Amino acid sequence: MSIQYPGDFWKDYELIDSGQGEKLERFGACCLIRPEPKALWDKTLPESKWESMAHTRFKPGAGFGKAGKEDSGTWERLKKMDDQWYIGYGGAQGPRFNLRLGLTSFKHVGVFPEQAPNWEYIYSSVKELSGTLPKGTAPKVLNLFAYTGAASLAAKAAGADVTHLDSVRQVVTWAKANMERSGLSDIRWVVEDALKFAKREARRGNRYNGIILDPPAYGHGPDGEKWKLDQCLFDMLKCVGEILEPEHAFMVLNLYSNGYSPLLGETTVREALGGAVPEMESGELALRDRFGKALPLSIYVRVKR
């Protein structure tokens, strides 16, 4: 198991400080204070410094901490800032793209920065696959629960034929705008329930060289389909096993739900894929603040065939 952090080359994001259930982050020129339950320690900087640096602070609503509403609330403006702004991602090597950020009522801003190591892995995996497929054949990549599309852009930047799926139409529109801002094109957009789509692809015999999954703890499809991670993940992964190419393929699973460990993720993936896992790695994705405090945020499992 390994612990991975975003590379130092990413200049448009920084975790400045963390503690007492919050994190102080810089996205481009804007600094935000957001709740972070995993920041169990004390803040290093004084509260006055946090407020003098921040442009806005997320204030949890009455439903905060309750199922379905745990991220709801409002933003308190501390300095003048735009409702939407852009940041870039990329270094001398690897994927390069742009992301539009915005203040949502669910404390999210349009990107999960700790996912950067997964973007790098996806980019390098697509590049590697391109050398194993027949000339002129692009690796087919399916991004499920794809949100605003950073992983889709990483795959597309590497030359993949990308299908991007999310159940929320507004989020897919957001992802499309990110593609256009990044100078990329020809991603296939799908608004649908992820499990329903994957089952249909299996029936049709469609297969992919790469599949990316970042499922929420709970959620709803566009037609009211219910998703609960503990109940649906294993079936989802078994279906993924049917549509993932048996050779020249990779899969990336990311899990945010508390209580999931890399070992649990590995066992679930291995059993769902029927043991057909020649190469597997797992670990945690984390952020480190200026003072060296490591904030673990999700676990990942990566598979290659």
Residues of the chain with pLDDT under 70: 62-71
Q: Give the model's pLDDT for residue 64.
A: 54
pLDDT digits (tens, 9 = 90+) for 199-254: 999 999 999 999 999 998 877 788 777 878 889 999 999 999 999 999 999 999 99
- Delimiting residues of CATH 2.60.40.1180 domain(s) in the chain: 2-89
Residue ranges of the chain that CATH labels 3.40.50.150: 111-304
Pick the CATH number of 2-89 from 3.30.460.10, 2.60.40.1180, 2.120.10.30, 3.40.47.10: 2.60.40.1180
Question: Can you give the pLDDT at residue 143?
Answer: 98
CATH annotation of 111-304: 3.40.50.150
Residue 85 CA to residue 100 CA, distance in Å, equals 6
Which one, of 98, 61, 55, lies nearest residue 79 by Cα?
Answer: 55
The pLDDT value given to residue 46: 98
